[in-house]
Structure 1
Amino acid sequence: MTEPSSPWATPDTQTVIETVRPAPAPPSTGGAGGAVRVAPGYASGRVSQGGTPPVVPPPDVIASGPDDDDDPVRRNTRIMKWLGGGAILIVAIGLIAILVSALTNNATTPGGLFNRQAEGPSDTRPELARRCPPPSIPPDNPNRGGAEVPPGPRTVDNESGISYKQYGDPWRPLQENWRDQGDLKITYRIGQDFVTEPDYDGQGDDYHATILSGHVPAAVNDGMVLDLHCVGDQIAADVRVSFYPKGNQLEQLDARDLTLGGRPARLLKFRLHFDQPGLRAKSELVSIALVDLGKPEAAILYVSIPDTHRQFDYVADEAPESIRPV
């Protein structure tokens, strides 16, 4: 009777480490063709103390592919990524610095692009000084000395710095201020007027003939040079929109430089044509005298005579000619 072949009698084979799980005994060729079985108490691949020591499995390692340091292509790609990321970071920091500098108006380099000086204060000049700055070449308007004051009653406007002829009935001293609604907002406080058409619109408004004086800041600070042409045109535009019906038409009669009371002056004379429901007057004669008194304020005399009272048209010439500085 032949004994079963011992498991240790088989020749040595390569050891494979795998998860231990129950498995059928592998077939083996033994003596006399008998089947080889696994000895009780052992799994496949295990050996006794007297055999080959057990192989310890290596620790788990997360594979990262081939060694990048040994691959020049991968190494160069990694370096370029680092350089690109650094460049983007530097550009971002630079843009942030520029933005902060622009928002805070900080100078970064003397004389450089961002060396912005602090903005000056807003333009606080009078409206007329902004619209009519002093001419670059001062006009030849010397003070020719004070002219003799004509005899007779006079209207004196100390605030404006002029006096002029005072007229009798129907003219009366001004009872209320006249304020234009144009750009200059000039207020006329001194003068004479009379009603030519009472309650012409059925709402209690009266129409007047007027002789009004006022003044307007026409120069900057202590500046003494005035552009009388520009100032006169602006005043004429303001009275048209302030005291006359909309859509009025201007007929220019005179526009010249002259001397009034020994001071440089500008005279404008025109007729305004209009058509206002309820108003009998269809036109009005207007004269505006602008006088340079040698100070930042220019004096104004404004005369208006409706065509319903043409007998007073002479006042549009006589009153300006009577102007004298006070």
Structure 2
Amino acid sequence: MSQAGWYPDPGGQPGMYRYWTGSSWSASITNNPMQAPPSGGLGGLGGPQHPGQPQWSPSQQQQQPRRSPVGWWLGIAAIVLVIAVLGWFAIRNLGGILGTGPSAGSNPTQNVCPKQVASTITPAPAPNDGRVHGGALSYPRLDPPWGPPVPETRVPFGRDVLTQTVMVEPSYKGTKDSWVASVLVGELVAGDGFFSPQQGSEIVVKCIMGVFYDDAEVVRDDKVNKATTVDGKEAWLVETHLSFDIPNLKTKGELAIIMIVATSAASSSIFYASIPDTVPDLVPDARRAMAGLKVTS
């Protein structure tokens, strides 16, 4: 289809319609396909519309009772107050969003992560082409000291995940749990899949900070947070330094690289690398893998 408009939800929600921009599906859904396009026209970053929200025509708007001057002044005052409050919050959080300064963020609960849904589809065997395949992405296989690619089922935001790792601190909790450098690719799991790469990157970063560092406070300092492309597909890249202090762990920080790629109209794939500060010589490997990313069918 090429014409923009509301169409039966390809995500399978009965009685619901999703907006097609002419080139991609938006995040907005409704049960009223006659309503106006989503906020901003393209949906996506504007968030979902409320199903059944009434749409007022110009004639209907003219029939509304006229407000008294006092009501107008009270309304203007309320709007000014709301703008002032929103401006204060925006300035307060600007540093963390734009990467101009560190921001603390620890929430040791899996509630910040997407709900994992078991897949009934068995991924097709990856081709023996010297690349590591996961989801609809692949990267050139890294040589030792990186280990061989292995499936990873413990990533709360992904499935069909394949990863390579390097041991950094074995058994720092005694007989279990080791700290590793890792590079992985897989299918991104979050909601119904209809979100922008930028929204997907924030889902992943919040999940990483919430569950990967025990109960430690994690300070996030973004170095890169921008739109990009991979193999001609829309993507979003976040490179952030995460600082933490976990008992018995020598590593106190690491570089996290998150690339979310809109590999189809209704799904995204992820490239994720975490390189502890104690092994900076592995950073070029992670960047080389990211530079070699390809979208596969």
TM-score normalized by the length of structure 2 = 0.54
1:214 aligns with 2:108: no
2-structure distance, mates of 1:292, 1:248: 28
Amino acid at match of 1:163: S
1:138 aligns with 2:53: no
1:154 aligns with 2:123: no
Evaluate the alpha carbon distance shift between residue 239 and residue 203 of structure 1 in structure 2; reply closer, same or farther with a 3 A threshold: same
Amino acid at match of 1:167: L
Superposition pairs of residues 83-98 of structure 1, within 5 angstroms: none
2-structure distance, mates of 1:216, 1:260: 15
Aligned-pair distance for 1:220? Answer: 5.0
1-structure distance, mates of 2:141, 2:149: 11
| Alignment correspondent of 2:92 | none
CA RMSD in angstroms comes to: 3.0
Consecutive unaligned residues of structure 1, counting only runs of 5 or more, are 1-119, 126-131, 141-151
1:291 aligns with 2:270: no
Aligned-pair distance for 1:232? Answer: 0.9
Q: Alignment length, in residue pairs?
A: 181
1-structure distance, mates of 2:264, 2:15: 27
1-structure distance, mates of 2:179, 2:15: 41
Specify which of 146, 151, 154 is matched with residue 171 of structure 1.
Answer: 146
Evaluate the alpha carbon distance shift between residue 178 and residue 243 of structure 1 in structure 2; reply closer, same or farther with a 3 A threshold: farther
| Alignment correspondent of 1:273 | 243
Q: Is the 8 A contact 1:286 1:303 kept in 2?
A: yes
1:232 aligns with 2:189: no
| Alignment correspondent of 2:66 | none
Q: Is the 8 A contact 2:159 2:189 kept in 1?
A: no
Aligned-pair distance for 1:217? Answer: 4.8
Q: Is the 8 A contact 1:211 1:304 kept in 2?
A: yes
Evaluate the alpha carbon distance shift between residue 133 and residue 205 of structure 1 in structure 2; reply closer, same or farther with a 3 A threshold: same
Bigger proportion of residues as strand: 2
Consecutive unaligned residues of structure 2, counting only runs of 5 or more, are 1-12, 19-25, 29-37, 45-128
Q: Deviations over 1:187-232 (max 9, x none)?
A: 46212112111111113221111011121256858xxx64221111
2-structure distance, mates of 1:174, 1:309: 20
1-structure distance, mates of 2:274, 2:137: 19
Identity among equivalent positions (%) equals 25
Amino acid at match of 1:235: V
Q: Is the 8 A contact 1:197 1:208 kept in 2?
A: yes
Amino acid at match of 2:145: P
Q: Is the 8 A contact 1:180 1:243 kept in 2?
A: no
1:250 aligns with 2:220: yes
Q: Is the 8 A contact 1:179 1:188 kept in 2?
A: no
TM-score normalized by the length of structure 1 = 0.50
Aligned-pair distance for 1:284? Answer: 0.5
1:263 aligns with 2:233: yes
SS of corresponding position for 2:229: strand
1:186 aligns with 2:158: yes
Q: Is the 8 A contact 1:210 1:303 kept in 2?
A: yes
1-structure distance, mates of 2:251, 2:42: 42
2-structure distance, mates of 1:176, 1:219: 23
Amino acid at match of 1:155: V
Q: Is the 8 A contact 1:263 1:293 kept in 2?
A: yes
1-structure distance, mates of 2:209, 2:285: 19
Amino acid at match of 2:249: L
Q: Is the 8 A contact 1:258 1:267 kept in 2?
A: yes
**Larger Cα-atom Rg:** 1
| Alignment correspondent of 1:72 | none
Q: Deviations over 1:130-166 (max 9, x none)?
A: xx935754399xxxxxxxxxxx932122xx1111121
Evaluate the alpha carbon distance shift between residue 156 and residue 276 of structure 1 in structure 2; reply closer, same or farther with a 3 A threshold: same
Q: Is the 8 A contact 2:133 2:186 kept in 1?
A: no
Aligned-pair distance for 1:239? Answer: 1.3
SS of corresponding position for 1:315: helix
Q: Is the 8 A contact 1:180 1:239 kept in 2?
A: no
Amino acid at match of 2:199: C
Evaluate the alpha carbon distance shift between residue 178 and residue 271 of structure 1 in structure 2; reply closer, same or farther with a 3 A threshold: farther
Evaluate the alpha carbon distance shift between residue 275 and residue 217 of structure 1 in structure 2; reply closer, same or farther with a 3 A threshold: closer
